[in-house]
Structures are given as structure tokens and as C-alpha cells.
Chains A and B, each alone.
Chain A
Amino acid sequence: MPVYLPIAEISVNLFLILGMGGAVGLLSGMFGVGGGFLMTPLLILTGIPPAVAVATGANQLVAASVSGVLAHWRRGNVDFKMGTVLLVGGIGGSFLGTWIFALLKAAGQVDLMISLSYVLFLGVIGGLMLIESVGALLRNRRGPAKRKKMHQHYWIHGLPFKMRFRKSKLYISALMPLGLGFLVGILSAIMGVGGGFVMVPAMIYLLGMPTSVVVGTSLFQIIFVTANVTLLHSITTQTVDVMLALLLMSSAVVGAQFGTRIGARMKGEQLRSLLALVVLVVCAKIAFDLVLTPDDLYSISLVEGKI
């Protein structure tokens, strides 16, 4: 069943869009990643113009994240204090990221840089997570391991402005989540994603937060980041397609609810190894496209400016 999208100006199959939204929503609820790193490439594959895909993807992520946060909140799995500190850093970072994006665009290499940063970040994060989580799974299988220390102490624990995060059971410097939020903010502005796939592993491995709280807290922060991106795109490029966003939302929010339920039943390391696999598959696909000879060496884009 075809539906004409008013902003994207193309006709798409209704069930294809609903299916994509549902699948990405499921993963989003399970892993606490917004799913932007999957949604945006999928939309572009469907033939939706990249600018519309990025902006509309962000809009859809707002809905998926709200739905996910509410589900996690009822289980008491959102650390609002930590989320707010991350968010403050994130907003600062997104301004710097937007500036870098504009520079790359002027150089005409923005697509390449997006692909390269996807490959780099997805590859490194996916690889590290896979190694760690598979290791943890194997240790569990071998029987009860020797209990490790609750927290390891590095130089970062000596930073000033210590804050207590009760939900995360942490007493760390506020500079750490602030800096992390800032870095992820830069990335999300450049790559057009919520940044959950960077945020979630960083919260687990760098901050040492418990996996159960990480997902809800990450989603909480993603709501605001993606809302900001939606607004910015709406004002500067008018590429938010509400019709497309609504279709994606209606199935993604449902998917996210099921995802949250599945995620709650799974062990942390199982969840992490699955996410690592998904991340690596997307990474491999993008890397492959960079190396593979394209069907057409030429690409056409409209010159900026109103018609």
C-alpha cells in the first residue's frame, strides 16, 4: 500500500515503513540505543533523501525514547541526576558538532566523513563490547568466578567536583559524565544519531554504571538530544517529514515496549554481546560500501537554497 510523503516528496510502501519502525523500535527498547544508527541508513536505502532521513529519524527517536524511558522509569531504572549531567554536556557538544558539520559540508566531504566515523566508532565499540561480553559469558559458564572488586580505581577517580549518583551507586567527579556527554553531543550532531550506541558502552565501561540503569538513563538523555536535532533541522532545512515520522513512531513505540520486556529478561552480558553483534554488522555494511565499486560513480544533489 503506497503512501505519499509530503516533505520527502516520494511514495513509499506503508508496510515496509511500519516494519522498519517496529524492528528498530524492538532493538531500541532492548538495548537502550535510540536506533538512529540503524534507522537512518535504512531510510536512505528505501530511497528517502538523506537530509529527510536524518531529520525524520531524529523526530521518530523522540517518541521511541519517551516510550522506553517511561517503561524503565516504572521499574526504577532511570538515574535522572546522571542523565541531566550528561545532557548538559551533550547540548554543549552538539553546538560544536554542528559547527564541525558545517565545515565538512563546505569541503564537500560530509558523506565520506559520516561513513568513516560510523565505521570507526561502530567498529571499535562493537569489537570491544563483543570481546568483553563474550568473555563474561564464558566465565559464567565455567561456574562461579572469583568475585572481583566492585570498582577499580583509575586516575579519573581523582578528579574534583565529586557527586553522588545514588541510582548508579557511584560517587564520581561530575566532570566525567559532563565530558562524556560533550563528546557524544559532537558525534550525534555529525553522524545524525542520538548517540546511544556510544553512550551505552561508555556508561558501562568508563563510568562503571550498572547495566540495568544505563539503558533507561541513556534513553532519558536521548529524548532531549533528538528533540533538539528535530527542532534545528525543522528550522534550518525543513526536512522533518511528520507523515513519515508518525508512521515510524506508531510501529517503533510498540516495538520498543516489546524490546524493553525482552531486555528485562536477559542477562547484562547476553544483552551486550547481542548489541555488539548488531553494531558490528552495521559497521561491516558501511565499510563494505566504502570499498565496493559503486553502481554509478556519479551522484546528484540539489544545490542548496529554496527553489
Chain B
Amino acid sequence: MTLPRFLQHLTFLAGLTIGTAASSAFAAGSLVTDISSHLISVTSDFTGADLLLFGSVRDDESFKTDELGDIIVVVRGPQKNVTVRKKERVAGIWVNTESVEVRKVPGFYAAASNRPVDEITTPDTLDRLRIGPNRLVFQTDVGKREAASFKEAIIRQQGQSELYTSVTPTVHFLGPSLFRTTIHFPANVPVGNYTAEFYLFQDKELISAQSSPLFIKKFGLGRQIFDFAQNYPTLHGIAAILVALFAGWVASALFRKD
């Protein structure tokens, strides 16, 4: 194990401990929240996962339980830089012409609320908190107007592969203070560090916010193969060739007519 990789593991473990502590032990303002699991393991039979996100609203000076509050839950995936290319018809065939590099594109985005978000708070607040895929802010080197169609393409295609979902009304209150929701992670979900954000509103005002980390990591044989391919690429290549040579020989030997 190389040193940077070791450090990565260390920070991962530290993050896990702090995350669990942050979400269950101390509560910011009036919210206490947790996730059914802070770690989704992607094994060879992974077909997606559902996580339960839940919490309770506490009665204190900033929040009055006799009036109902509103909850918005957002899960964001690891950010990546992507190149978006646009095709145009040139001499009868479709050719990539323009391209825009877009930075800080989350690999996953899902959100849930207890009622339509525009009833919960003002558009300004929604924009500021980036609630809903259409309010995501990406970085590009080109002008806003030029980049618009490229950003829409990202949101559209991520939506088609179930990686972006718009805010669903799936936060349910169980009594005046306890709430829960489930977020679905499809099989093609990218691995990496996620955050789960909880927002509490009352009278269109943001009262309290909480964020806890969430990790999606590969485990089991798949993880070992992936690590081997990343850490020892030459050996991995040779191993892949040897496996192929062996498989070919076995098949030929099995089918040999003596």
C-alpha cells in the first residue's frame, strides 16, 4: 500500500467516524438526523440500494413545534469534470463540432421534500441551496448563454440514467416532529464521497441545516480487482493475458476429440 493511498484510507475512516458522530451526537439548531447506513458497499451482485434518511425536529427558541415545519433532503454525489460535445451535420454525417469543458458536475443528485419546494421557500433560497437538478451550478470557461444548452444536456442525460432526480414529495412526517424518506441509488451510481443535506424551514425561512457524509465504495472481489488494476497496471495486464491464454487452452482441451 503506497503512502497516499494509506492516507486516503485514513481520512476515509476518520470521515466515517466524524460523520456518524456529527449526525447522531450533536444537532445543529433544531435538527437531529441520521442515515440508515453511511456506507453503501458495491459488491459483484450490486443492483442498487435504498437508504433511509430520517430525523426529528426539536422544540427550541428558534422553532415552535405547534407550527409545522418543512423538510428538504438533498443527496449529492462526487464532483467530476466532463467534456460535453455537440454534434452538427457536416456533409451529411453527424460530426462533433463544439465542445465545452464543464467542471464540478456531481455524479449523483437526488432530493426529497414533504411538499412542493416552491411552497416551502422562496426561489432565491432554492437557488442558493441548489435544490433540484435545474438549479445546479456548473463551472465553464464560456459565457452563460453559450454554456446553457450544454448544461441542459448534462442534466437531461444524467436524468435519463437515473443519476439526477428532481425533488420528489417523499419526505413523510410521522407525528409532529419525526420525519423520514428513502433515496434510491441505481446500479450505475458512481463510487465516491457523498453528502446528505437536511434543511428545515418554517414560514419560508431556513431555520436549520445539517450535512452528513455518505460513502459508496466497492467491496469484495470487485474491489480487489479494481485496486489491483489501479495499483499494479502492468501485472494486471499480464494477469489478464494469462487468464485469457488459460481459458482458451481449457476450452480447446475440453472440446478435443480423441
Give the interface of A toward B (CB within 8 A). 2-7, 9-11, 59-60, 62-71, 74, 108-109, 111-112, 227, 230-236, 238, 240, 242-243, 245-246, 249-250, 253-254, 256-257, 290-294, 296-303, 307
Contacts and interface: CB of A to CB of B under 8 A. Distances in A.
Nearest to A235: B233
B124 interface: no
B254 to A, nearest CB: 8
B42 A4 contact: yes
B172 interface: no
Contact of B252 (A59, A230, A257): A257
B234 interface: yes
Contacts of B191: 9
Given A6-B225, A230-B241, A235-B237, A74 B256 contact: yes
A238 B231 CA distance: 10
Interface string B49-86: 00000000000000000000000000000101111111
A10 B187 contact: yes
A300 B87 contact: no
Interface size range on B against A: 35 or more
A21 B163 CA distance: 29
B130 to A, nearest CB: 20
B211 to A, nearest CB: 22
Interface string B76-101: 00101111111111001111100101
Nearest to A66: B248
Nearest to A1: B45
B109 interface: no
A78 B83 CA distance: 46
Interface of B: 42-48, 78, 80-89, 92-96, 99, 101, 149-150, 153-154, 156-157, 187-188, 190-192, 218, 221-223, 225-226, 229-230, 233-234, 236-241, 243-245, 247-253, 255-256
B166 to A, nearest CB: 19
The 7 closest A-B pairs by CB, nearest first: A66-B248, A234-B237, A253-B251, A298-B153, A11-B187, A6-B222, A62-B244
14 contacts: A10-B187, A67-B249, A71-B252, A108-B96, A112-B93, A230-B240, A231-B241, A238-B236, A243-B44, A249-B243, A249-B244, A254-B255, A291-B93, A298-B153
A303 B140 CA distance: 13
B256 A231 contact: no
B241 A296 contact: no
Contacts of A6: 44, 218, 221-223, 225-226, 229
Contacts of B248: 62-70, 249, 253
Nearest to B160: A296
A114 B84 CA distance: 19
Given A6-B223, A62-B245, A297-B86, A70 B252 contact: yes
A11 B187 CA distance: 6
Contact of B247 (A232, A233, A246): A246
Given A11-B188, A67-B252, A71-B252, 9 more contacts: A4-B44, A62-B248, A64-B248, A70-B249, A230-B244, A233-B237, A234-B240, A245-B243, A249-B248
A63 B192 contact: no
B225 A242 contact: yes
A4 B237 contact: no
Nearest to A250: B247
Given A3-B45, A297-B86, A245 B252 contact: no
B184 to A, nearest CB: 14
